[in-house]
Chains A and B, each alone.
Chain A
Amino acid sequence: MARARKPVVAGWFTEAGPHTDDGPAAQGTGADQDFRLIGTRCQDCGSVFFPREDTFCRNPACSGTTLEETPLSRRGRVWSYTDGRYRPPAPYVSDPAREWEPYVLVAVELAAERMVVLGQAAPGTALADLAVGMEVELVPGVLNEDDETTWTTWHWQPLGGDR
C-alpha cells in the first residue's frame, strides 16, 4: 500500500515534483530545479526569514506585518559540517532495533539571503565529501517512514555529487 507523502513541517519547502522517487534524489545537478526551501520576506524592509515568519517582521527597526513567501537560493556554500555518531533522542525517529547509522549535518551559507541554513546531508554523503566553502545544492529527501506516511524533508548535497 502506498504511503502518503507529507512534509515533516508544512510550508517550509516545496512539495517534491512528480519525478522524484522515494529514495535519495540521486539525479545529480539539475534534477530538482523546482525544489526550494520557502522563507518569507518582509514587504516593508526586505528582511528574509527562515523558518518562515508570517505575522511580524523581526527587524527591530521595522514594524512590518506583511510577509510574503519567497523561495530561498537553491545553492550555497558549506559554512560548517558535523555528524551524529549517536542516536538522537525522540522526537527524532529511528528504529531502535537497527544499529545506528551516523548521518552528516551541514550548515550552508546562502549568498543572496546572507544567512546560514542547517540541514541533513543527502544520504551517502560522507564527511570526507565535504569542506568548508564548497558548493552544495538543495535536494528533496525522506526523513522517515511510518505505516501511513513518508515524511519528506530537505537535504544538502555536494554539487556534482553523482552517486
Chain B
Amino acid sequence: MTDDVAVLGAGMHPWGKWGRSFTEYGVAAARAALADAGLAWTDIQLVVGADTVRGGYPGYVAGATFAQALGWQGARVTSVYAACASGAQAVNAARAQILAGMADVALVIGADAAPKGFFAPAGGNRPDDPDWLRFRVLGATNPTYFGLYARRRMALHGDTLEDFAQVKVKNSAAGAANPNARYRKAVSADEVAASAVVADPLRLLDICATSDGAAAVVLSSMEFARRHTTDPVRIRAVSTVTPSYPKTVLDLPDFATDSAAAVEPPALGLRASIAAAAYEEAGIGPSDLDLAEVYDLSTALELQWYEDLALCAPGEGAKLLRDGATALGGRIPVNTSGGLASFGEAVPAQAIAQVCELTWQLRGLAGDRQVPGARAGITANQGLFGHGSSVVAVR
C-alpha cells in the first residue's frame, strides 16, 4: 500500500462542441478546481497536463501550455500521454511527486477540442504503424472493435440488444442531472433501437461521441491538506498496469491477439488486472465500493467492466444491470455522472472527469445524482496500445 494524497479541489469545463481551443477549456477547469480548493494558482508547486490526442497519438503538449496560460509562476511541470488513460497517468504523476516529497500541492489538468466523427489515424504513409495499418488494411474504426466485443458477449453470455439499450437509458437518466454533461436528456430504449446501426450489433446511441471538455483536480500531501481542510477525499490507489503476455483479448488497434501456443494466458485479462492492481493497492475490494465510474465507450463495454471490476461474476454483467444494481438507487451505481454516454469522449480530460465525479459523490455534493453516504469509489478505463487506468478514492 502507498500513502494517500488528498483531493482538495475538482473542476470542469462543461462538455460539448464549443469550437474553441483546448487551452481555454483547461484554464476554465483549472480555475474552477483552484476555487474549489480555496487556493491561488500561485500556491501550486507542480502542474501536470494530460496531452491532447490527434489520430491516436500525442497532439499538443499540455502541462507547459496550461502553465503559460495561467501565468508563468515557476511551478514544476510534467506532461503525459497514454491515450484514453492519460488522465489517470497525470493523476499518478502528480501523486508520485507528492509522495516523493518533490511537491506539496499539484494541479492536474486534461482538456481537448475533439474533431468530429470517427477517430482517424495520423496522416501520411506509415506502414510500420499498427494504428495506421488497421485503417488501411481493414477499415477497422474504433466502433468495429466495440461491435466485435458486443457480438461476442451476445454469443457467450446471452446479452441482448435490449440490455445494451438499457445501459444508455440508465446513463442518460444520470447525465440529465449533471450540469457538466453534454447530453442532458433522458433517452428511451426505443430511441436507441431507432438509431442507425454503426457497427453491428451496435447503434449510434450505443456508441459514445467525441466532445470538447476539460477537467482538473488539485492534489496535495495529507499534511498540506490538514492545514487547509478537514476530512478531504483521498486517493488511495492509482493503477497504471500494462497487459501480461500473452494478451488474448483483441484490443484496438490490434490485427490479432498474442498467441497462447507456447505460454499459457494469464489468470486475469488486461481489464481485470487493472482493477485487481487498484484493489490491491487500495486494500479494499469490490464489496467495499459505493459507486464506480467506468469507460462506457459502448453500452456493451460497460457490462464488460462490471465483470472486470468484479462487481459480479463473469458473464453476469447484463443480469446486474437488469436487477437495477448499477442504476442510481441500486446496490452499486455505475456512471452516476452519466458516463461517456452523456459526456462524449474528450480523451485527456475523461479519466480526470471520472475522479471529479468520485470527489463530488464522496463529499455528498452530487445533487440529484448523489449516492447516499458514499465513502468509496473506483474509476476504470483503458488506453490505446495497452495503458491501464484505475483510481480508487475514499473518504
Contact = CB atoms under 8 A, between A and B. Distances in A.
Majority DSSP secondary structure for residues of B touching A? loop
Interface in B121-144: 121, 123, 125, 127, 130, 132-133, 135-141, 144
Interface stretch (B57-65, B149-157, B353-361): B149-157
B196 interface: yes
Interface in A115-155: 115-120, 127, 131-133, 143, 153
Interface of B: 117-118, 120-121, 123, 125, 127, 130, 132-133, 135-141, 144, 147-152, 155-156, 196-202, 245-246, 248, 250, 254-263
Nearest to B154: A132
A17 interface: no
A8 interface: yes
A105 B148 contact: yes
Given A85-B197, A132-B155, A153 B118 contact: no
A59 B263 contact: yes
Contacts of B155: 80, 131-133
Nearest to B199: A82
Contacts of A113: 259, 261
A8 B148 contact: no
Contacts of A114: 248, 259-261
Nearest to A111: B261
Contacts of B245: 58-60
A82 B197 CA distance: 11
Contacts of A92: 135-136, 138-139
Nearest to B127: A9
A31 interface: no
B257 A91 contact: no
B199 A107 contact: no
Nearest to A44: B262
A81 B140 CA distance: 12
Contacts of A9: 127, 133, 137
Nearest to B149: A80
A115 B257 contact: yes
Given A51-B130, A116-B256, 15 more contacts: A9-B133, A47-B259, A47-B263, A80-B155, A82-B147, A82-B148, A85-B198, A86-B198, A89-B135, A90-B123, A115-B248, A115-B256, A116-B257, A118-B256, A132-B151
A105 B200 CA distance: 10
Contacts of B137: 8-9, 143, 153
A85 B255 contact: no
Nearest to A7: B137
Highest count of chain B CB atoms <10 Å: which of A9, A42, A114: A114
Interface in A43-94: 45-51, 58-61, 79-86, 88-94
A1 interface: no
Highest count of chain A CB atoms <10 Å: which of B147, B156, B198, B257: B257
Contacts of B202: 82
A112 interface: yes
A84 B255 contact: no
A132 B156 contact: yes
B255 A50 contact: yes
A129 B73 CA distance: 64
Contacts of B263: 45, 47, 59, 61
A118 B254 contact: yes
Contacts of A35: none
B259 A89 contact: no
Contact of B144 (A42, A61, A105, A112): A105
A104 to B, nearest CB: 8
Interface string A150-163: 00010000000000
B261 A88 contact: no
A79 B145 CA distance: 12
A-B pairs, top 10 by smallest CB distance, nearest first, are: A82-B147, A132-B155, A89-B120, A88-B139, A114-B260, A92-B139, A80-B152, A46-B262, A48-B259, A115-B259
Highest count of chain B CB atoms <10 Å: which of A46, A58, A118, A143: A118
Given A49-B259, A58-B245, A82 B141 contact: no
21 contacts: A9-B127, A9-B133, A49-B258, A51-B133, A59-B262, A80-B152, A81-B148, A82-B199, A82-B202, A84-B141, A85-B199, A86-B141, A88-B118, A88-B139, A88-B140, A115-B248, A117-B256, A118-B250, A118-B254, A127-B200, A132-B155
Contacts of B257: 115-116
A82 B133 CA distance: 19
A82 B261 contact: no
B202 to A, nearest CB: 8
A84 B261 contact: no
A118 B149 contact: no
B139 A82 contact: no
A94 B135 CA distance: 12
